[in-house]
Amino acid sequence: MNRFAFIIHPISPEDIKKSLKPLAILPVPLLEAITKHFPPFKVSMIRGVRSPTGAETEGWFIGIPLTPRQFLSYPLDFVYKRLIQAGKLAEKLGAKIVGLGAFTSVVGDGGITLAKNINIGVTTGNSYTVVTAVEGAIEAAKLVGINPKEAVAAVVGAGGSIGFTSARLLAREVPKMNIIGRSVEKLEKVKETIEGETDCKVEIKRNVSEGLREADIVLTVTSAMEEIIFPEDLKRGAVVCDVARPRDVSKRVEEERRDVLVIEGGVVAVPGDVDFGFDFGFPPKTAYACMAETMILALEGYEGNFTLGKEVTLEQADTIAKLAKKHGFRLAGFRSFEKPVLPERIEEVRRLAGR
């Protein structure tokens, strides 16, 4: 059996306080000043992942007690040191591949330095994240009454590597797409590639608001450090899939545009009777796509690195999509601003959109 590990971290100081109750009374700056000295540690054992092929795997969550703010503000050398410690712990436990969760794949070079310093495979999980983001956006669009075959899509950040691959996948599903980014030269390449591969008609837009005005389905994947999509930018009844971290979509969209559905990509159902041994806020037997990618590769017995650095190729996306299907992974719902999307919310969007 090939085993895996997956590196996680607290999303907020409150998460640390829940886990380390004796420290809960401390002010956040003091709490972070203390926990930054804590080494990575084994959070839980993950058991019961079983493919329909009969393959099985198990693994571990490994925690680095740093919040997103700390990951983004501390020197890279310090962050790399913690990541390498976590990777070496995964190796010592017996994992053959280690996946990077949340900001551990956002900061620095996307696992390249980590891969150079440990003797097991590394993956950011971004290939399956891209695949499920596109699948999720299309599925969510259908649920709120949008027919993808008649829809206009928009990809914000299409000039970047992940945006490029996302746009190529999405272009297989829709007849028209606006691609939005800062570099016209890069967007010209995206347009030429997509129109050479599909029948999708592509328009280049430099302005986010202009590009989103007519879009029924939006996928946003920029590396912006601040919000760039606001309530006034979006078409009535649109679906927005925000893959970016930090988020591209303003929280005001959720509050002020109840006719618009914002999702974070798909929730993935894990095959088998899986027990994560740790509550990371998802329904039982479901996981983030990046976690799922690590499990899929372990089930497949994959050796070496898979998604590494800041790029995701179309070949990687198609490969992991094929392997996911082979091993029984599938979409199982949506999340929006860290919370599950309930059926009532879907119906609210349909009603307010007049569908």
Number of alpha carbons in the 13 Å side-chain half-sphere of residue 253: 27
Q: Which of 168, 149, 171, 148 is nearest to 159 (CA)?
A: 168
Residue 49 contacts residue 291 (beta carbons within 8 Å): no
Question: DSSP string of 246-263?
Answer: S-SB-HHHHHH-TTSEEE
pLDDT recorded at residue 20: 80
Q: Is 73 left (phi over 0), alpha (psi -120 to 50) or beta?
A: alpha
pLDDT recorded at residue 22: 81
pLDDT recorded at residue 19: 78
- Rg over alpha carbons for the chain, rounded to the nearest Å, is 20
pLDDT recorded at residue 84: 97
State the Cα–Cα distance between residues 33 and 164, nearest whole angstrom. Answer: 39
Kindly report the length of the chain: 355
- Strands 41-50 and 56-63, by their bridges, are antiparallel
pTM of the predicted structure, to 2 decimals: 0.91
The token duo for 296 is 């899929």
pLDDT recorded at residue 310: 85
pLDDT along the chain (355 residues), means of 10: 95 84 85 91 96 97 92 93 97 97 88 97 94 95 97 96 93 97 94 96 95 97 89 97 89 96 90 94 91 97 94 94 97 89 95 94
